[in-house]
Amino acid sequence: MTQDDATPPCSGARDGARRRSTVGERAHELHRGLGELLDAAGALCSDRAWSLEPAVLSETIQEVYALEARLAELRSALLTQAERCDLPTWDANVNLVAWLRDRVGLAPAEAKKHVALARGLETYPHVRDGLGQGTFPPASALVVVAAADTLPVDLVDQATRDRAVAHLVTEAEAYDTRTLARLGAHLEEVLDPEGADRRLAEQLELAEARAARQSFLHLAHDDEHQVTDGSFRIPLQHGVTP
């Protein structure tokens, strides 16, 4: 019986956590497959990159990014399972971000991005499937997740939200991350134009009220030189000349 068969998930001693097990003896196909992939990657020599012709170089670079996207989807699934079974506590860490810092060496900000992506892919299967196909980078997946999270829950039903996410996933295959973020920012206007206009008007009204409260006029009189200096702040609508 192998160690994978004998040890329940997320239980056991921490002593061997940093040691790499023998790939050929791994019982779980995912555990074994990733080990084989790591071994295969180790056999690739980056020193030979200079010998790639432009057409081959182009395809090779794109395949590296596609592989990165697929691995990001797989990594997210593993991080989701790590949260489900409370791996950090088993491994003497307070949370998954701390575990990634301790075990992988990620800075907290980067670790939070990985955890956020994992949670987002669990919430939005369309994004998970698209990223798993390797057709757009993990950064684009985060943009789609963030855009979907901003949709008002009380105004957008689940079916509409799913269609919106599917639309953005398709757009992610055609546009860069920055353009995708702009499309995502206007997603609510497409789904609910009347509601978006109403909320924009409410936000503008609040901003104008805040500007009015922050208005001031400060004057300083100089009797000796017979001048007055001052500073002021007024709402934009009063300061802009038509």
Report the distance separating Cα 126 and Cα 49, nearest Å.
35
- The residue with greater pLDDT, 54 or 238, is 54
- Predicted confidence (pLDDT) at residue 13 exceeds the cutoff of 50: no
Ranking 9-23, 92-106, 214-228 by mean pLDDT, the lowest is 9-23
pTM: 0.72
pLDDT at 51: 95
What mean pLDDT comes out for the span 178-200? 73
Give the tens place of pLDDT for each residue, 162-176: 888 999 999 999 999
- Mean pLDDT for the chain? 85
User: In the predicted model, is pLDDT for residue 38 greater than 60?
Assistant: yes
**Which residues, in sequence order, are bridge partners of residue 228?**
221
d(CA 145, CA 37): 28
The structural domains of the chain, with segments of one domain joined by +, span 52-194, 210-239
What's residue 197's pLDDT? 57
Average of per-residue pLDDT across 79-86: 96
Predicted confidence at residue 191, as pLDDT, reads: 67
Q: How far apart are CA 130 and CA 76, in angstroms?
A: 13
Decide if pLDDT at 62 tops 70. yes
Evaluate if residue 57 carries a pLDDT over 90.
yes
Burial class of residue 79 in the structure, from the number of CB atoms within 10 Å of its CB (0-12 exposed, 13-18 middle, 19+ buried): buried
Closest CA to 234 of 214, 209, 205, 210: 214
- For the stretch 115-142, pLDDT in tens is 999 999 999 999 999 999 999 999 999 9
Residues 6+ apart with CB under 8 A from 102: 91, 93
